[in-house]
Amino acid sequence: MRASRRSLGAALRNSDAKASARSSKLAFRSHLGSGRTAISCPAGGRMTDLAAMPCVTLAPVTWIESPLVYLAERLGLDVTYWTDIDLHQRPGLLMHHRALVSLGHDEYWSSAMRLGALHARSHGINLAFLGANDVYRHIRLVGSPLGPARREVNYKVASEDPLYGVDNEEVTSQWREAPIPRPESLLLGGLYQCNPVAADMVISVASSWVFDGTGLKNGDRIPGAILLEYDRVDGHLPTPASVQILARSPLTCRGRHDVSDLTYYTTRSGGGVIDIASQGWITLLTCQPPQESTRCSHQAVRITANILRMFAAGPAGIDHPSRPNLARFGIRLTHPVHV
């Protein structure tokens, strides 16, 4: 499992800021479990616990990480913990594991991280993305006085990057954008759309192994499961041809009607890839000490346990190949990719 870098300043994240006011390089130290973050909400709102839409307050960033860690430990799984820096510097270590589990908000990926995940996928390693807005920003990690790979470079606007026109493979725009578009849907199945949202997850394929033991039926809802950022399938962008939508959840974001798609696909190597498509999913796992809240969903706990156990057993696609069903939702892939 991976924990993200947590000491990056707000200036790097502010994509609305003018280039002159937005940092393009930030150095950081990696602190597991010690960071805090400010989360905004509508005027007049306040946060009492994770049951409400997070509002202006200081809350541990681990709210989208540690509940999953506690669950994995309770399940007795053999788990290795590492950071984005580990994946960047030693992506080959994935080949010694059966799955990579990415947690709630894993937005910033270097080329080495992405290529490492793709290589692992092609060799039957499972990938679980238990959040949303993953693999969205292309970054470079370079050395600083703090050590190797301790400076994150992210210009966000391609033409501002000194490598533009020099080494376009490494220009730090969004992965889906020019100069060399490589949409994250190639890896995830779906991709980020909008925020903030708060909606129920609506089950579409209750017969899937993912929902075993939950009692859920098609059309049933998991209240509040789609929170903050979300992903969905976009048929106009390159997407694995084997993608199956397991839950399609109607929502409204910034006045626009849309859906969040929980997706699963498998590869010729047998690897399984799942994108839960909700940034707030892990907050639903807060059902036991030391983290409990009214966001607790025992169905979400069972779904997550099913994923962890299946992916820990080996290539999920061997026993549970995905069954492509995009046509059921009126989606035709214009750029299907066979993986």
| Structural domain count, the chain | 1
The predicted pLDDT at position 1 comes to: 64
Asked if residue 100 lies in contact with residue 120, where contact means CB atoms within 8 angstroms, the answer is yes
In 48-136, the DSSP E strands lie at 58-60, 82-83, 99-102, 108-110, 126-129
The predicted pLDDT at position 172 comes to: 97
What value does the mean pLDDT take over residues 180-204? 98
Among 35-39, 197-201, 331-335, the least confident range? 35-39
Q: Give yes or no for residue 176 having a pLDDT over 60.
A: yes
Of 57 and 149, the one with more pLDDT: 149
Beta strand pairing call for 25-27 and 191-202: unpaired
Q: Give yes or no for residue 228 having a pLDDT over 70.
A: yes
What number of other Cβ atoms are within 10 A of residue 330's Cβ? 7
What percent of the chain is modeled with pLDDT above 70? Answer: 82
Q: Give yes or no for residue 9 having a pLDDT over 60.
A: no
Q: Each residue of 11-35: b (16+ CB within 10 Å) or e?
A: ebbeeeeeeeebbbebbbebeeeeb
Among 36-50, 179-193, 271-285, the least confident range? 36-50
Give the pLDDT band of residue 199 (cuts 50, 70, 90): very high
What percent of the chain is modeled with pLDDT above 90? Answer: 76
Contacts of 332 (CB under 8 A, 6+ apart): 235, 326
Give the pLDDT band of residue 58 (cuts 50, 70, 90): very low
What whole-number distance in Å separates Cα of residue 112 and Cα of residue 97? 17
Nearest residue to 218 via CA among 230, 233, 237, 203: 203
> Which residues are paired to 201 by β-bridges?
222
Q: Give yes or no for residue 59 having a pLDDT over 50.
A: no
Q: Give yes or no for residue 244 having a pLDDT over 80.
A: yes
Q: Give yes or no for residue 200 having a pLDDT over 70.
A: yes
Residues 249, 296, 198, 40, CA torsion sign = negative
Give the pLDDT band of residue 48 (cuts 50, 70, 90): very low
> Which residues are paired to 227 by β-bridges?
198
CA dihedral defined by 271, 277, 5, 172, rounded to 10 degrees?
90
Structural domain for 90, as ranges: 2-337
pLDDT, mean over the chain? 87
Nearest residue to 277 via CA among 333, 193, 205, 218: 193
What is the DSSP secondary structure assignment for residue 278, as one 8-state letter? B
Among 77-81, 111-115, 183-187, the least confident range? 77-81
